[in-house]
Amino acid sequence: MTRWYRERKQDYYYREAKKEGFRARSSFKLIQIHNRYGILRKGGTFIDLGASPGGWSQIAARYGKVIAIDLKPMQEIKNVTFLQEDITSNDIIKKLREIVGKVDAVISDASPNISGNYTMDQARSVWLCENALKIAEEFLKQGGNFLCKIFEGEDYPEFLEKVRKKFKMVKPHAPKASRKQSSEIYIVAKGFIDKAKMSDTLKN
């Protein structure tokens, strides 16, 4: 038995996920973040980025309809429409427009393939977040919510400021379910400011 597998078996949230029938321990991260910040609105529609194997989609589907996207395949979940696509591709917004209008939240637990070079991995993490934010800007309703995982590092403060310009409330948060040695942090953003909609309102 490898050390990684042994530590995983001993991990509380891994064991609890198995017990609860969750597909990943990350389900508890979303539960904890939602319980604190109320990211998911009952009866809402949500886009889940980097969704496979479906840990976050399982939780979001308890509240409403989910459009889940990942390069990796994902088994079917009730109330979840799955697209096996690249969230960084040029045509992802076009493909999403074909199946969904405005949504209540965009959530992303997307992570780069870890290379072991932290500077590179952190930059890739920010790149995924940039693409998640682009999708959020396109599809969020006025006042909608955004949640994304990012690795802390050189590019993190600049991205955080970018998010702050687009939402009324933005807070970095580390849920208890995150591993202690992890450098991941979640950006919780509520109250999307749709500048295009505000501009139209002012014109009228």
CATH architecture of 3-203: 3-Layer(aba) Sandwich (3.40)
Do 68 and 80 touch, CB atoms closer than 8 A? yes
Contact yes or no for 87/47 (Cβ under 8 A): no
Helices (H), 38-117: 55-60, 92-97
**CA distances (Å), 23 to each of 11, 93, 117, 132, in order?**
15, 27, 28, 22
Global confidence as pTM: 0.89
What pLDDT is attached to residue 76? 96
C-beta of residue 182 within 8 angstroms of C-beta of residue 152: no
- The predicted pLDDT at position 2 comes to 54
- Please list the pLDDT of the chain residue by residue as tens digits (204 residues): 455 444 554 587 778 777 877 778 899 999 999 999 999 999 999 999 999 999 999 999 999 999 999 999 999 999 999 999 999 999 999 999 999 999 999 999 999 988 989 999 999 999 999 999 999 999 999 999 999 999 999 999 999 999 999 999 999 999 999 887 788 999 999 999 987 665 554 454
Number of other CB atoms surrounding residue 179 within 10 Å: 11
Between the two ends of the chain, the Cα-to-Cα distance in Å is: 67
pLDDT for the residue numbered 201? 47
| Nearest in space to 33 (alpha carbons), one of 201, 176, 199 | 176
3-state helix, strand, coil in the chain (%, to 5): 40, 25, 35
What pLDDT is attached to residue 25?
A: 86
Alpha-helical regions (H) of 21-144: 27-37, 55-60, 92-97, 118-139
Catalytic hit among 29, 149, 166, 190? 149
Ranges of each domain in the chain: 3-203
pLDDT at 195: 75
The closest of 165, 42, 158, 62 to 104, measured between CA atoms, is 42
Query: What is d(CA 142, CA 38) in angstroms, rounded to the nearest whole number?
Result: 16
Tell me whether residue 180 is one of the annotated catalytic residues: no
